Amino acid sequence: MTSTSKYERLPISVGVCVYNEEKNIALLLRSLLSQKTERVEIKEVIIISSGSTDRTDAIVSDFFKNSANFELLIQKKREGKASALNLFFEHASHEILAIVNGDIILNEDTIEKLVSPLHDPGVGMTGGHPVPVNDRNRLIGFTDHLLWNLHHLISLKNPKLGEIIALRNVVRIPDDTAVDEAWIEAIIKSKGFRILYVPEAIVYNRGPETISDFLKQRRRIFAGHLHIKRKTGYKLSTMDSLDILLLTLKSLKFNIRDILYTPGAILLELMGRALGIYDFYIRRRNPYIWDAIRTTKEVQK
């Protein structure tokens, strides 16, 4: 591995995994192509569309029709995000990769801040700071904000990376995982690299807007975390329910909204984890190809 001096720009490949993202994909691509960089150079963008049945592929192709550093890879059927990522790893031309979820929006300096720490050859992976756009004055929106704020606070001490990551192209992950970033994190650490959380690398996402969608998403994620723990022994920093509860109470603000909504948010998260335990241990289910969470795909504002 060659060390990169502080005066060189890191060439990177950007991968975007998508499934039926016609409502937001153009917004993401505009934010991606509007990136302002000094220490990083986006050399190629690879979109992996896994069994999309809407206009996603047509929108992407039209968006990049005059671009030479773009490639659209189409999987005819859904094989799971991990499979799409492995396809990206195989096709990427550069050592440093950025992986961007298909339903987020980036600040103009997100890629620069996310990737710059990889100038240090001892750093193997970095992760950005997701900020939900949901209305925090509704219970579900409040819960989305609460969980991502807890994710932020935990990651400041013990990084748990997701939504947008950068890494060295030294991994391949099992196709049957529902928590791809967690597997990447475990592999990177096993190779002796450090992982870093970069809170300044902000991205905006939309969390679930209904209780049913929230529980569907949370049970799938927790079942995936149980799967990786069984397979590798690796435990994510967000797995400890007691620590999460204590941190939630510590961060509680004493206003009417927080006092009313926090118990409901805690109950919803515990229900999601309980359903994930049920899926994994009782149903023996590993949901690595999951139903799309409909309300997360609404147009971001």
Tell me the pLDDT tens digit for each residue of 34-79.
999 999 999 999 999 999 999 999 999 999 888 889 999 999 999 8
The answer, as to whether pTM is greater than 0.85, is yes
Poorest-pLDDT segment among 75-79, 92-96, 242-246, 252-256: 242-246
Domain 10-285, CATH homologous superfamily name and number? Spore Coat Polysaccharide Biosynthesis Protein SpsA; Chain A (3.90.550.10)
243-250 contact pairs (CB < 8 A, 24+): 243/154, 244/150, 244/154, 244/269, 247/150, 247/153, 247/154, 248/146, 248/150
SS3 content of the chain, % helix, strand, coil (to 5): 45, 20, 35
Tell me the pLDDT tens digit for each residue of 255-278.
999 999 999 999 999 999 999 999
